[in-house]
Chain A
Amino acid sequence: MMQKAKIDIKGLNFFFEQKQVIKELNLEIPDNRIMGVFGPAGSGITTLLRTLNRLSDLTAGARQEGEILLDGKNIFDTDVNVTELRRRVGMVFDVPTPLPMSIFDNVALGPRMGGMKSKTDLEEKVETSLRMSALWDDVKDRLDTPAARLSGGQQQRLCIARVLALEPEVILLDRPCSALDPISTAKIEESLVQLKEQYTIVIAPHTVQQAGRIADRVAFMLMGDLIEQGYTQEVFSFPKDKRTNDYLTGRFG
């Protein structure tokens, strides 16, 4: 049975100036699962992720139609506080983005700006977040050093910790391992599988294999269309659509 839907996308159309990037998309994203949205570059996957926390608002010339219900509430409603929405729906980008400050300050930034003042609260928040992203043991003795000195994989886990510190409900990851080596990738995948106990995770994997390894459900997108979706095993073993099959078997993409 399908889990209760955390996010319910209904009839989403997304336009960038004259170009339609997402076409009439309907998708339910279940709670406490990893949803993998895959497809060739330019299919509208990044746009879809950016729409889920309205980061797409920042793109000049973009507009959308349709609804995205988060716990039943349309995120495009005028009374939605976008800042709060982005705290509930966190985002990790395709390249690691440590800010020019210490490891501690990177993780503490979100809670601080959200009004957390007490030093002990912040320390605790930073520690739990870093533990959850499996970075704590690597950095616990050098929290004051610049985040830029971490390796690429560590930086990306820092970015995940930074999002976790916001206590989000949904975590969006846009090809989070595309710039990383296989060992770092494995570590991140391992943490994601643990994190899904508490969070709803939507990931754009950088390879089909990654979707196969960690996603519970997958959705295949092509040129802005959602071609098919379902349990990972089913879609991968018995794709209903020929295009899905062609993509999975490497005939294009």
Chain B
Amino acid sequence: MKMNANTSQKIAKFTIWAAALFVIAILFSIIAYILVKGIPMLSWEFLTDIPRDMGRSGGISSSIVGTLVVTAVAVIVATPFGIGTAVYLTEYTREGRITRIIRFSAESLAGIPSIVYGLFGFIFFVIYLNMGWSILSGGLTMAIMILPTIIRTSEEAIRTVPQLYREVGFSLGLTKLQTITRTVLPSALPGIVNGVILSIGRCVAETAAVILTAGSALRMPESLFSPTRTMAVHFYILAREGISMDNAYGTAALLIILILLLNVGFNMLVNRFIAKGR
């Protein structure tokens, strides 16, 4: 039977609409499930107390601190290297064998499973450099893990800056470096920030690589050399060992809220910063 063009149009529209709805429904049901189960667990004590009795009672303050600091170390270390590499690739070389090798390396790095980074971090930072299970080992491992993301997003952002901006810089008597830092990077900033936010999300959510490098200590970290248990790891252990599903949900809910807050907060900060220019 031959279908009326109008009818097939309607069916197509409905199918596409249903597919989109389905995706959104899955996302929201997961978030809703976690939040419904987890939010009742949240209390002032849960936020401020360290875990007691292996996490059966007490709070998760040490995990919150550990998560934030590991992520901070990773982002602070990876961002300059990532942007530097992106600037080199876009501004200081012509396309050629070297750029292809660098880009291929970065893309290969992006495809490696995180547990492999964990193993590398364990062997190199924890054992060979004798840094032990520590925030620093974990943060540096995460830094290597997120480097490809930051390189790629920064490179894309810098590439989309119109050539004219560079010419404006040069025509104002700026040197090459001044042109890059004063005209190119400010224009690319929103794209670069996007990559950093994406990376923050990955760090906060990472489990396998952090267990191997930052450990799973429950006490409040005292320095960058203290071991710690990030929230994702805490959640994993609580659920895996059947210690306390309630507290696992509480941690998961807080993890979701934290990622949300980090994204919103970071965005607001950057918007305020670049609002000066846009």
Residues of A participating in the B interface, judged by any CB pair closer than 8 Å: 53, 55, 58, 60, 83-84, 86-87, 90-91, 93, 95, 97, 99-102, 105, 109-110, 113-114, 144, 146-148, 162-163, 166
Q: Is the interface of B mostly helix, strand, loop or mixed?
A: helix
24 chain-A/chain-B pairs, Cβ below 8 angstroms: A55-B167, A58-B170, A87-B173, A90-B172, A91-B171, A93-B171, A95-B164, A97-B164, A97-B168, A99-B165, A99-B168, A99-B182, A100-B274, A102-B276, A105-B276, A105-B277, A109-B172, A109-B174, A109-B182, A110-B172, A113-B172, A113-B173, A146-B278, A163-B171
Q: Is the CB of A83 within 8 A of B277?
A: no
Structural contact, A146 and B173, CB atoms closer than 8 A:
no
B183 within 8 A of A: yes
Interface-central residue, A55, A93, A113, A163, by most chain B CB under 10 Å: A113
Question: In the complex, A163 Cα to B171 Cα: how many Å?
Answer: 9
Query: Are A83 and B187 in contact, CB atoms less than 8 angstroms apart?
Result: no
Is the CB–CB distance between A101 and B171 below 8 Å? no
**Nearest CB in chain A: distance from B278 CB, A:** 5
| B residues with CB within 8 A of A | 94, 164-168, 170-175, 178, 182-183, 186-187, 189, 274-278
Contact of A93 among B168, B178, B186, B276 (CB under 8 A): B168
A sample of 4 more A-B contacts (CB under 8 A), given A99-B277, A110-B172, A146-B277, is: A53-B171, A86-B172, A86-B173, A91-B167
A84 and B276 contact, Cβ closer than 8 Å, known pairs A55-B167, A97-B165: no
Return the chain A residue nearest B171 by Cβ. A91
**Is there an interface contact between A163 and B276, defined as CB atoms closer than 8 Å?**
no
Name the CB-closest residue of B to A144.
B276
List, in ascending order, chain B residues with CB within 8 A of A146's CB: 275-278
Closest B residue to A54 by beta carbon equals B170
Q: Which residues of B contact A101 (CB under 8 A)?
A: 186, 276-277
Residue of A nearest to B179 (CB): A113
Contact of B172 among A84, A102, A144, A166 (CB under 8 A): A166
Whether A162 lies near B278 (C-beta < 8 A) is: no
> In the complex the two chains form, what is the Cα distance from A34 to B178 in whole Å?
31
> Do A84 and B165 have beta carbons less than 8 Å apart?
no
Q: Which residue of A lies closest to B186 (CB)?
A: A100
In the assembled complex, the Cα of A93 lies from the Cα of B186 at a distance in Å of 20
B174 touches A83 (CB 8 A): yes
Chain A residues within 8 Å of B173, by CB: 83-84, 86-87, 110, 113-114, 166
Q: Do B277 and A147 touch across chains, with their CB atoms under 8 A apart?
A: yes
Contacts of A109 in B (CB 8 A): 172, 174, 182
Specify which chain A residues have a CB less than 8 angstroms from the CB of B276 in the assembled complex: 101-102, 105, 144, 146
Q: How far is the CB of B110 from chain A (nearest CB, A)?
A: 29
Q: What is the bound-complex CA distance between A250 and B278, given in angstroms?
A: 42
For A114, the closest partner residue in chain B by CB is B173
* B95 smallest CB distance to A (angstroms): 11
A113–B182 contact, CB under 8 A? yes
Kindly provide the distance from the CB of A122 to the nearest chain B CB, expressed in whole angstroms. Answer: 15
Q: Contact: A55 with B165, CB < 8 Å?
A: no
Q: A102-B276, A148-B278 are in contact. Are A83 and B175 (CB under 8 A)?
A: yes
Contacts of B168 in A (CB 8 A): 93, 97, 99
Chain B residues contacting A148 (CB-CB under 8 Å) are 277-278
A147 to chain B, nearest CB (A): 7
Closest B residue by C-beta to A159: B168
Whether A102 pairs with B170 at a CB distance below 8 angstroms is no
A65 → B minimal CB distance (Å): 23
